[in-house]
Structure formats: C-alpha cells, structure tokens
Amino acid sequence: MSEPSIFTRILQGEIPGEIVAQNERVFVLRDIHPQAPVHLLVIPKTQEYANVAELAAGDPALLAEVVAMAQKVAAEHADGDFRLIFNSGAGAGQTVFHVHAHVLAGGLEEKKLVG
C-alpha cells in the first residue's frame, strides 16, 4: 500500500487542515494557497484514484458525488456560481496524486476563460 497522501493525513487528523464539509465518501478542505476568494478542494476519502480520468473509469458515482459536493459548497460559501477544476498530471499542475477538484468562486469575473 502506498503512503497516505497529505489529504488522507489531514482527514485522519495527523496534520492540520480546515475541513468545511464532508459526507461518507467525500470531504472538503479550504485551500491553503487560495487562487480566488473562495478556493475549496473537494476530495474523495479514498486515495485509490490519482486523477479524474481514473476516478471516472473506476467509480463514476463517486465522481458524481464530488461534483454534487462542489455545487453544495459553492452555494454555501459563494453565490452558487463556481469554476470546477481537476488537474491531471504533473504537466497540468497536479502536485498531490490523490484526485481532487478545485472549487473557485468570487472575484473571477476579470479572469474569465472563453469556452
């Protein structure tokens, strides 16, 4: 078995982290280096999947839970509008290989992406 990821260690209380929501299979942390006024990480409690493609292939229902939780916390912590980002691979900026989604909201109107 691989070493516990930083997210697993936070979930287990080994290192500090601000958990703002959770259910049986997913939890949400406030990002320690926010890129927007609201920057939350939605993380499956299992570290079985390294990236979103693996999660989609291995447990599509869990991926749906991640997206639903993202919508829920965006409604609670912002106005409900949000950006949902999955980085897949080191070349795309992924630094923790335990799949997670970034929920960004607030102050993004000047940083719009086309498409």
Q: pTM here?
A: 0.91
CB 42 within 8 A of CB 99: no
Report pLDDT for 114: 41
Would you call 100 a catalytic residue per the annotation? Answer: yes
Per-residue pLDDT, averaged over 1-8, amounts to: 88
CB 93 within 8 A of CB 86: no
CB 43 within 8 A of CB 22: no
Report pLDDT for 107: 75
- pLDDT tens per residue, range 8-60: 999 999 999 999 999 999 999 999 999 999 999 999 999 999 999 999 999 99
Residue found under tokens 């936070």: 10
- The catalytic residue among 77, 98, 100, 102 is 100
Rounded Cα–Cα distance for residues 9 and 14 (Å): 5
- pLDDT tens per residue, range 86-115: 999 999 999 999 999 999 998 765 555 444
Residue closest to 40 by CA, chosen among 17, 63, 14? 17
Report pLDDT for 73: 97
For 6-105, which CATH class? alpha beta
